[in-house]
Amino acid sequence: MIKKILLVYLLFFTQHIFSQTNNEIKIADSISLNIQEKDLGDVMHNLFNKHKGIDTAIENAKKYHFVFMPAFGYSLQTGWAAVASCNVAFQTSKLPNQKLSSITTSLTYSQYNQIIFPFIANIWTKNNKLNFTTDIRFIKYPSDVYGLGGRSDPNQGYTINFTGLKFHQTVQKEIAKNFYLGIGYYYDQYWNIQALDSLKRNVARRLSNKLGTSELASGIALKALYDSRLNQINPQQGFYANVVYRPNFVFLGSQENWQSLLLDVREYFPFPKSSKNIFAFWGYTWLSVGSNTPQYLMLPSVGWDDSYNTGRGYIQGRFRGKNMFYFETEYRVRLSRNELFHGVIFCNVEKFSGDLSQTYTTIKPGYGVGLRIKLNKVSGANICLDYGFGNNGSKGFFVNIGEVF
Residue of 286, 313, 308 lying closest to 369 (CA atoms): 313
How confident is the model over 15-22, as a mean pLDDT? 36
* Res 211 pLDDT > 70: yes
β-bridge pairing 381-389 and 214-227? unpaired
Q: For the CA atoms of 5, 108, 102, 239, what is the dihedral angle to 10 degrees?
A: -30
Query: What class does CATH assign to 2-401?
Result: mainly beta
C-alpha span between 238 and 269 (Å, rounded): 7
Mean pLDDT of the chain: 82
Residue of 312, 309, 226, 310 lying closest to 267 (CA atoms): 226
Query: How many residues in the chain?
Result: 405
pLDDT of residue 200: 60
β-bridge pairing 179-195 and 238-248? unpaired
The dihedral sign for the CA sequence 229, 398, 349, 189:
positive
* Res 166 pLDDT > 60: yes
Confidence of residue 27 (pLDDT cuts 50, 70, 90): very low
pTM of the model: 0.83
* Res 385 pLDDT > 80: yes
pLDDT of residue 356: 58
* Res 343 pLDDT > 70: yes
Residue of 101, 103, 104, 102 lying closest to 128 (CA atoms): 101
Paired strand residues for 81: 73, 110
Residues 6 or more apart whose Cβ sits within 8 Å of residue 141: 114, 115, 116, 161, 162, 163, 164
**How do the domains of the chain map onto residue ranges?**
2-401
C-alpha span between 240 and 315 (Å, rounded): 27
For the segment 344-361, what is each residue's pLDDT rounded down to a tens digit? 999 999 998 766 555 556
pLDDT > 70: what percent of the chain?
80
How confident is the model over 82-90, as a mean pLDDT? 85
Work out the angle at residue 88's Cα, subtended by the Cα atoms of residues 85 and 94, and round it to the nearest 5 degrees.
Answer: 170
pLDDT > 90: what percent of the chain?
46
How confident is the model over 157-173, as a mean pLDDT? 92
Confidence of residue 293 (pLDDT cuts 50, 70, 90): confident
Q: How many CB atoms lie within 10 A of CB 403?
A: 23
Confidence of residue 72 (pLDDT cuts 50, 70, 90): confident
Question: Quick check: 389 and 356 in contact, CB under 8 A?
Answer: no
C-alpha span between 46 and 159 (Å, rounded): 46
pLDDT of residue 128: 92
pLDDT of residue 68: 77
- Phi and psi dihedrals of 142, rounded to 5? -60, 130
